[in-house]
Amino acid sequence: MPRIAEAVPLDGRRVRIVWDGGEASVVDLAPALESRRIYIPLRQDDELFRRMIVSEDRNCLQWPGEDLEFSAVRLAALPPVTFATVIFGMQWTRLA
């Protein structure tokens, strides 16, 4: 299972992830946050989104509130923001 060493919120709903092995990537969570109703607060509240932390087990991102988390497995499967939109769509469909 992938482990998150560090996560930094960026503009929009982008996040810079540093993995345990030292690799880093920037992912856009906006499309993924649109996929579930539980994420409505994260879509609507910039301040809440920026309060993101890495879980104690380093296996997900967490936010204040009930069940507001995004797993490291799903993060690792997201394409970096440099991917074309078509490629992102294919990757996201694969996760669904």
Task: Report DSSP state, residue 95.
Answer: H
Angstrom distances, CA of residue 75 to CA of 24, 35, 87: 12, 14, 16
Q: What is the pLDDT of residues 54-68, one digit of tens each?
A: 999 999 999 998 789
When the pLDDT of each residue in the chain is averaged and rounded to a whole number, the result is 89
User: Any residues with CB less than 8 A from the CB of 47 and at least 6 apart, and which?
Assistant: none
d(CA 44, CA 16): 20
Say what the pLDDT of residue 24 is. 92
Q: What is the pLDDT of residues 34-44, one digit of tens each?
A: 999 999 999 99
In the chain, % of residues over pLDDT 90: 76
For domain 4-95, give the fold. NE0471 N-terminal domain-like (3.30.2020)
Q: What is the pLDDT of residues 12-54, one digit of tens each?
A: 999 999 999 999 999 999 999 999 999 999 999 999 999 999 9
Where do the H-state alpha helices sit in the chain?
30-33, 40-44, 46-50, 72-77, 85-95
Domain ranges of the chain: 4-95
Whether the Cβ atoms of residue 26 and residue 9 lie closer than 8 Å to each other:
no
| CA angle in degrees (0–180, nearest 5) for 13-19-25 | 45
With cut-offs at 50, 70 and 90, classify the pLDDT of residue 79.
confident
Say what the pLDDT of residue 84 is. 53
